Chains A and B, each alone.
Chain A
Amino acid sequence: MSGNAYDIDVWGLVVALAMVAVAAGVSGLMRMGIGRSLMWSACRALLQLCAMGFVVGYVIRADNVFLVFATIGVMLVAAVQITLSRAKGVPKGLAGPVLLSLTITMLLMIALVTELVVRPHPWYAPQLVVPLTGMLLGNTVSALAVGLSRFYESMDERRDEIDTMLALGATAWEAARPSIVSSIRLGLLPTMATLASCGIVTIPGMMAGQVIAGGDPLEAAKYQFVVFAAIASLTLVADGLIMAMVYRTCFTALDQFRSADMRGAR
């Protein structure tokens, strides 16, 4: 595929950075106060992406099953850290549930998308498994962070309602359910918006990449759909799993409501 691709040389990167620098300069002139962080983020992104490119290149060339899963393991740990740092107002000790829900989701994706749909040889094909995991994690991390923040916020907003429901004999699950539903819905909103608008307004990143690299657009579209379908359904699974694991942190063993200060929210 790379034979048809148009490679980007060093000057291409310089032009791209210069574009960011101009934008940062303009924002500095308008005193928007985001110029520095924009520039800084762009440099960070360039370094991170190049590092990722080197690592993935090495993993693909090495073609070793242990190396593939070690890479995925590192990605999972980083994903847990990013999820917890983005989620606001969540209690401590959620690293385990987040890691478990991401791992289950990732294994489901490898089992279904890789082994059932694509069926590569060898079965752990790094050029397939590593980017797929990356895309899935990128999506689930933001869905989990939004979902967790929203869940605890909603539980505190609904405090009176929860106390009333518990007084009427509701179980912890029944009292938490409206908050669980609204947080899962909010976490899935971006995914559903992408599903609805792709192909009309936007050419999704993965498909665009394949087309630019000289792939057949229809093949690229099929790939893109499988990936979208997997991401949408597995994000829902990840969100549902995490909610089932953490909703009890808002209750005592006797199904009494624990407010934010009792949970030790950060």
Chain B
Amino acid sequence: MNETHMTHVFTAEGVSCTVPSPDGERTVFSGLDFAIDAREIVDLVGPSGSGKSSLLTAFALLNPHARGTFALDGRDSSGFTPQRWRREVAYLPQRPVLPGATVADAIRLPFMLSVRAGGEDGREGLRDGNGPRRPGGLFGRFAALFRDGEANARRLLPEERIRATLDAMGCTDIDLTRAPHDLSGGQAARVSLARTLLTSPRVLLADEVDAGLDDENAEKVASIMSDAAAHGMAIVRIRHRPPDGRASRIVTLSHGVLSWDGSLVKDPDAKDANKEAVA
């Protein structure tokens, strides 16, 4: 368990973000450093417009205006394809987008993608997935064009497994055969979260997922995430609600400066105690 102290699961160094504006370019932030360990939940707070979302999309290599050095388990992001990086460092957008005819289809979306079609690097899309290895080379690339992503997704993620996962997350109220646009705001937020959690990323970047939810749904979302963290996921949450006691650190981004309130993180005993409780 100590190796997580040696190398953080995720590190970011010298992150900057410059957006075009009517009068030239505007620097949102620059030179930010950040690190997070497995099983940790870090809350990212700060005034709106300070660039919290830009920072998280930069972590997932999704922000075309951002630069920086990122590493996962000490491996630099340049050693990953963008797809494999995002499979491990998953950004969860604030607004749930659930394409497809049913909730089950929306949840299967990530498993229709070629990045999870087979375990190229020994790691399956699902931990106990048993997908076929994709034939490499030109033929493999050509065959991937005609691969039936939907059948593959159905096999990787059968209905029963989605049901069991949703039930375990306390989402017994969500009917898998319903159309996604019939879901309430809270249900849609939980389905979107469940979809990303089922892909088992190493790092989850949750962008104000509980915004616009009532207290009950916000509580449900928070407890789903702390369960995931207890199983080893590193989670960064952007939040506007008052602290719910689940974060091990609260980091503030304001006027381009990232500062953390050390009271929670600087106490190694508390952290180890937390880990033991989990184990």
Contact = CB atoms under 8 A, between A and B. Distances in A.
Contacts of B114: 171, 174
A169 B64 contact: no
A165 B109 contact: yes
Contacts, number: 66
A167 B62 contact: yes
Contacts of B83: 169-171, 255
B93 A163 contact: yes
B61 interface: yes
B95 interface: yes
A167 B82 contact: no
A255 to B, nearest CB: 4
Interface string B90-121: 11110101010000000001101111100000
A177 to B, nearest CB: 10
Contacts of A255: 82-83
B144 to A, nearest CB: 10
A40 B112 CA distance: 54
B115 A169 contact: yes
Contacts of B113: 165, 168-171, 174
Interface residues of A, number: 21
Interface residues of B, number: 28
B199 interface: yes
B87 interface: yes
Given A161-B99, A255-B83, A257-B64, A171 B115 contact: yes
Interface string B241-258: 000000000000000000
Given A161-B99, A174-B114, A167 B60 contact: yes
Contact of A167 (B20, B84, B86, B112): B86
B86 A168 contact: yes
A10 to B, nearest CB: 58
Contacts of A169: 83-84, 86-87, 110, 113, 115-116, 199
Given A161-B97, A161-B99, A255-B83, A168 B61 contact: no
Given A161-B97, A169-B116, A171-B115, A254 B109 contact: no
A178 B109 CA distance: 13
Among B20, B112, B113, B196, chain A packs the most CB atoms within 10 A around the CB of B113
A91 to B, nearest CB: 15
Interface in A139-197: 160-161, 163-171, 174, 178
B223 interface: no
Contacts of B195: 168
A252 B61 CA distance: 11
A169 B153 CA distance: 14
B262 to A, nearest CB: 31
A129 B126 CA distance: 57
Interface in A213-245: none
Contacts of A168: 86, 90, 109-110, 113, 195-196, 199
B63 interface: yes
Nearest to B149: A174
A256 B110 contact: no
Interface in A58-82: none
Nearest to A168: B110
Interface string B215-251: 0000000000000000000000000000000000000
A262 interface: yes
A165 B109 CA distance: 8
A254 B61 contact: yes
A55 to B, nearest CB: 43
Contact of B92 (A160, A167, A252, A256): A167
A258 interface: yes
Contacts of A252: 64
Nearest to B98: A164
A253 B121 CA distance: 23
Interface in B49-97: 60-64, 82-84, 86-87, 90-93, 95, 97
5 contacts: A160-B93, A164-B93, A165-B113, A168-B196, A256-B64
Interface of B: 20, 60-64, 82-84, 86-87, 90-93, 95, 97, 99, 109-110, 112-116, 195-196, 199
